[in-house]
Amino acid sequence: MLNVKDRDLIVPGDLLGSDILPDMNCYMEGGNVYSAVEGLVRVDGRKIKVVPSSGGYIPKRDDVVIGVIMDVLTGKWLVDINSPYICAMSGEEVSRDAAKTDLSRYYKVGDILTAKIGSVNEVYSCQLMKPWKIENGLIIDVNPKRVPRVVGKQKSMLNMIREKTGARIIVGQNGKIWIKDGNVDLAVKTIKKIEKYAQTQGLTDQIAEFLDKESRGNPIKPSYHINESED
Amino acid sequence: MSGNGDVVLIKDGKRLDGRDFDELRDIKMEVSVLERAAGSAYVEWGKNKVMVGVYGPRELHPKFLQDPTKAMLRCVYNLAPFSVDDRKKPGPDRRSVEISKVTSEALSSVVMLERFPNTVVDVFIEILQADAGTRCAGLTAASLALADAGIPMKDLIASCSAGKIQGQVVVDLMKEEDNFGECDLPMAIIPKKGEVVLLQMDGKLSRDEFKDAYKLAYDGCMKIYDLQRKTLMDSMKKFVGEGGIENGD
C-alpha cells in the first residue's frame, strides 16, 4: 500500500507505504517503509526509492572519478576523491617494478587524474585503476548526488552538451567534472543549470532549447584553451 | 529561576509580548544559507538568531577515534560574545559544553551513523542573538541542516520549551520569563513516533504542572515540525523545476 505518489517531494521520516520493497535511501521499520533523506519519490512497480537532493560521495565499484594526489608512498599513491574515504592507487598501474621506482616521476602531490574505482570493501577502503593524467582544462564541482542527471539516460544529456558546445568533458561520479576545448563557458553554464534544476521533468529538451538559444550567433570556437596556470 | 514576585509577567491574561499561554513566538526558517557547508540552516525564533552549518561526513582525526561500525556526530554549540546583553567571554564554558553534548546525543538518535563508518559529521551551532530557548532553536536548526546536507536520518527532530511563570504554565519562554519565571522545561521529540530525545528542567514544577508543561511543549514541537517540513519542501522547489527554468542565470 502506497502512501505517496510518484514524484512527490518528501522529507526524512515520511511514511512511504507498507508492503512495498525499499530501495535507495529508504528504511523499513515494523513493516512500514520510511524515507531517510529529503528528495523525490520514484515508484517502480513494488519498488520504491528516494532520489536525494544533496549529499556527499561514497565510493562505488566501477565508478569513474576525478581525484587529486595527496601523498606518494612506496609502491602506491593516496588519492583524494572528494569523499570521506581516501583511495589508494597501486604503483603497479604505471610501472612493472613499482616498489623500486620513484613514483613521483609519474604523479606528484597535487597532480590531478581520472581513474576507475577497482574495488571497495565494507568500510569503503578503495583501490583506483587505470589512471589518466589531467594536465589542463577546467574542473568544476557539482553535487555528487546530481551527477546522474548531468550524464542522463544512456549518456543522452552528456553527449548533447558535448555535441552542442564542442567541449571535451569527463564526468567524475564524485562530483568533479573536467571540461576542455570548445565553448567551455557555455558547457559550465549548462552543467550548473542542470545541477540546479536536476529533477525537472523533460529537462533534456529544455536544456537542448537553452543550448540552441545560447550558441546562436556565438558559434563554437574549437580552439578555446585554458592554460594550466589559470586553473 | 529566582521566582522574583515583583516582576509582572502576565497582564490581563496575556504575556509581556501579548502572546497567549500556548502561543509560540514568530519563527522564520531557511536552509542552504552557507555556500561552503554540506548543509546549513538559519532560524529566527522570536529574538533568537541561530546559524547552523553541517560539514561531512568527512575523515575523522585523530585516527584512534575512528569507529569502523559507525560515524561520529560532533556538535559544537557556541554563544557569540555579542549575542547577549553583557558581553559573553568567548570560548566554550560549562554551559555550552553541556548543550553541545545533549544536542549531539539527541541528533545521534535519528541520524543513521552506521552508513558512514570511520567518519565524522560535524555540526556547528552558532547563536548570533540569544533570547531564551537557544538550545531548542539550535537543535531545530541543526536537524534542518542535517536534512539539507542529505545525511540519512530516521526523522527530523523538533524542539520547543515550556515553563512556569507566575504560577501559570506557558509554552516557549522568552528572556524575561526565563529570568523571572519559576521553571523552564526544554524538550525535543522525534515527531513521527512521539519519542522524547531531550528533556531538561530548570526550576520546580508539581506533578500536575509537569504534565501540563509536557503537553504544551509537545504541541509546540509539533508546530515546529510543521514549519520544518514546509521549509525543506520549499527549498526543493527548484530541484524539481517547479515554476519552470529561468534562463536569466
**A130 and A142 inside one domain:** no
Residue A211's domain spans which residues?
138-215
All structural domains of chain B: 17-235 (3.30.230.70)
**A204 and A161 inside one domain:** yes
Task: List B residues 60-79 in contact with A (Cβ-Cβ < 8 A).
Answer: 68
The whole-number average pLDDT for the span B62-83 is 95
**A81 and A37 inside one domain:** no
Task: List B residues 16-45 in contact with A (Cβ-Cβ < 8 A).
Answer: 38-39
Q: What is the pLDDT of residues B148-169, one digit of tens each?
A: 999 999 999 999 999 999 999 9
Residues in A touching B144 (Cβ below 8 Å)? none
- Write the Ramachandran bin of B57: left for phi over 0, alpha for psi from -120 to 50, otherwise beta: beta
Domain boundary at A108, A134, A160, which?
A134
pLDDT at A224: 47
Q: A96 CA to chain B: closest CA distance, Å?
A: 32
pLDDT string in tens for chain A (231-residue length): 888 888 899 999 999 998 899 988 999 988 899 999 999 999 988 899 999 999 999 999 999 999 999 999 988 999 999 999 999 999 988 888 888 888 889 999 999 999 999 999 999 999 999 999 999 999 999 999 999 999 999 999 999 999 888 899 999 999 999 999 888 888 998 999 899 888 888 888 888 888 888 877 665 555 444 444 444
3-state secondary structure of B59: strand
Is some CB atom of chain B closer than 8 A to the CB atom of A60?
A: no
CB contact under 8 A, A37 and B153: yes
**A91 and A109 inside one domain:** yes
Q: What is the pLDDT of residues B181-196, one digit of tens each?
A: 999 999 999 999 999 9
pLDDT at A211: 87
Residue A144, domain member (yes or no): yes
CB contact under 8 A, A13 and B192: yes
**A39 and A26 inside one domain:** yes
**A143 and A127 inside one domain:** no
Residue A222, domain member (yes or no): no
Residue A223, domain member (yes or no): no
pLDDT at A6: 86
CATH number where A13 lies: 2.40.50.100
Task: Give the nearest chain B residue to A35 (CA atoms).
Answer: B154
Task: Give the nearest chain B residue to A37 (CA atoms).
Answer: B152
Residue A172, domain member (yes or no): yes
The beta-carbon neighbor of A12 closest among B38, B153, B241 is B153
Residue A58, domain member (yes or no): no
Residue of A54, A196, A215 for testing the chain B interface, max B β-carbons within 10 Å = A54
Confidence label for B1 from pLDDT (cuts 50, 70 and 90)? low
Residues in A touching B245 (Cβ below 8 Å)? 193, 197, 200, 206, 210
**A80 and A110 inside one domain:** yes
**Domain tally for chain A?**
3
**A47 and A84 inside one domain:** no
Q: What is the pLDDT of residues A173-201, one digit of tens each?
A: 999 999 998 888 889 989 998 998 888 88
- Cα–Cα distance for residue pair A84/A58, rounded to 1 Å: 7
Q: Which three cell numbers stand for residue A172?
A: 567524475
CB contact under 8 A, A7 and B150: no
**A129 and A142 inside one domain:** no
**A85 and A127 inside one domain:** yes
CATH number where A102 lies: 2.40.50.140
Residues in B touching A39 (Cβ below 8 Å)? 150, 236, 239
Interior/surface letters B140-153, b for 16+ CB within 10 angstroms, e for the rest: bbbbbbbbbbbbbb
**A155 and A211 inside one domain:** yes
Domain boundary at A100, A134, A168, which?
A134
CATH number where A142 lies: 3.30.1370.10
Residue A160, domain member (yes or no): yes
Task: Give the nearest chain B residue to A13 (CA atoms).
Answer: B155
**A87 and A71 inside one domain:** yes
ipTM score here?
0.87
Residue A29, domain member (yes or no): yes
Residue A98, domain member (yes or no): yes
